[in-house]
Structure formats: C-alpha cells, structure tokens
Amino acid sequence: LEVVPQFIDKGNTLGVLMTKLSVLPEEVIAIGDGVCDVTMLQLAGVGIAMGNAEDSVKACVDKTTLTNEEEGVAIAVERAILAEIRPAEVPLDQLNMRARHALMGNLGIQYTYASEDRVEATMPVDERTRQPFGILHGGATLALAETVAGLGSMILAKPDEIVVGMQVSGNHMSSAHEGDTVRAVGTIIHKGRSSHVWNVDVFTSTDKLVSSIRVVNSILKKK
C-alpha cells in the first residue's frame, strides 16, 4: 500500500525533477514493477518493467528486464547504459589522471589512443624507467605492454566481466636511451570468450622497434 497526496504520483514527480535538472525525457530511464509506476515509466524516454511486474505494467513499457530476484535492475543498467559506451568515448585524460599514483603513473605512462582493436601509450625513458647505465629497463617495457593490453581488454570486455593478466613475454631487439620517450602500440590478435591475446610493439621517438611483446589476458565473470 502506497499513500501519497492527492494528484501526486511518480510521473508528475519525475516531471518536476526533470524540470529542475533541465533533463529531457529522452535522457531518462525509469524502472518499475507496480501499477503506480506506470505514469513514471511512460514519461521516461525508456521505460523498463521488472520481470516480476504485472502484465498490465509490461504492456506500457519499452523493455522488460529480469525479476528482482535475478538482479533485474543491474541487468537493465548494463544493457541500457553500460553497453552503450563506445571505445571512442573512453576518457583517456581521466584514466591518466586517476592512475597518477598507481604503477602506471609512477612510470610516467600516458594513454594516447584507444579503440576496440588498438591501444597506444607513451612512457619516458628517465630515472624511473632506465637501467643504471642509461637505457630503457626491460621490466618497465613489459609493464608498459601490460598497461596497454589491459586497457584494450577492458574496452572489449562485457559489463559483467573483469580482466586479469595471465602471461606476458617479450623480445627486446634494441635499446632506447635516457631522454627519449617510447611509444607502445597494442593490437589484438585473438579475442576469445575467456582470453584475449595482444601483440604490443614498443618504438623509440624515431620509430625504431625496441621490443615486441605478447600479452595474454584472462576474462572472468564478476562474482
């Protein structure tokens, strides 16, 4: 039993909220399961009924999700919002900012490009990433490759999946010297349901190939 003031319902309350926030109906998704939710579901650009909703409610909406016992709201959010995020919209500046205190930031790694099949990043050859005698440390190069492949797999993974590194191996063909900035280019060569395989080539600023690295990521379902 829900008790509300006369002439007040979820639909006109949503309307007031949209006006205050300057939000258009097509920018709103509403999820409900009861008859009292119908006006709200019809006002929203996308109305989604829970799987346990009455048939009269389901008849008034655009989509139906699973029941409340099957995490129907989470599924609706994943399908209607998260699945719509495109690789071109990946906020590289935000990713770089958030990682400034992690390994990536400590090594000076910066993402510069990201798509579904290619990711690029740069890393300076300085006191953080060089060997004592002034050339790029192989371990830092592998960390750069894993960073690039990790983002690539995260772009490809579904909303209910996580990415963990499984294997990394590389061949170092030449050196990069202190003061230079190397560029890593990662391309996916295998996209499986449970694993991704990436090839990451690392170049100097003059496009000399320094290392070629193979990274294998495991794709796991969130628990």
Map out the domains of the chain as residue ranges. Answer: 10-84, 87-221
Distance CA 52, CA 66 (A): 7
φ/ψ region of 108 (left if φ > 0, alpha if ψ in -120 to 50, else beta) reads: left
Q: How many CB atoms lie within 10 A of CB 88?
A: 8
The CATH number assigned to the domain with range 87-221 reads: 3.10.129.10
**10-84 has which fold?**
Rossmann fold (3.40.50)
Tokens of 103: 């390994």
Residue 80 is predicted with a pLDDT of: 80
Q: Find all residues with CB under 8 Å of 33, minimum gap 6, and list them.
A: 49, 50, 52, 53, 54, 57, 68
Mean pLDDT within 145-150: 97
Residue 91 is predicted with a pLDDT of: 84
Residue 112 is predicted with a pLDDT of: 95
Catalytic sites, residue numbers: 146
What's the pLDDT band for 143 if we cut at 50, 70, 90? very high
Distance CA 145, CA 197 (A): 12
Q: Which amino acid is at 174?
A: S
